[in-house]
């Protein structure tokens, strides 16, 4: 009895070029995705009533700016490391 809340952060990439990298952060409640940010879209998208209301609020606040910066801070930096490590091991 209770609730399950989780967040996933994903970096999709084909190369180390920033244009080939996408940052996606998805929020779940009881295994149901209710909102996500995708750097290819550039804003939050809601999938449920709760998600739509949060997306509207987050897209008008500092949350959207912070999420847009996460691609550079989190993905671009780490993809370079992962890419070199993966190539060195293969």
Helix-then-strand count for the chain, H and E: 3, 4
Q: Whole-prediction pTM value?
A: 0.85
Question: Which whole number is the average pLDDT over 20-29?
Answer: 96
CB atoms near residue 39 (< 10 Å): 21
Summarised one tens digit per residue, pLDDT across range 73-88 is 999 988 888 877 776 6
Domains, the chain, with CATH or none: 5-86 (3.10.320.10)
């Amino acid at each position: 009895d209770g609730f399950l809340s989780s967040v996933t952060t994903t970096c999709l990439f084909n190369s180390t070029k920033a244009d080939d990298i996408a940052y996606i952060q998805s929020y779940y409640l009881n295994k149901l995705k209710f909102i996500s940010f995708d750097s290819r879209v550039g804003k939050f998208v809601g999938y449920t009533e709760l998600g739509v209301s949060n997306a509207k609020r987050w897209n008008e606040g500092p949350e959207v700016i912070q999420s847009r910066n996460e691609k550079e801070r989190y993905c671009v930096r780490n993809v370079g490391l992962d890419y070199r490590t993966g190539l060195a091991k293969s």
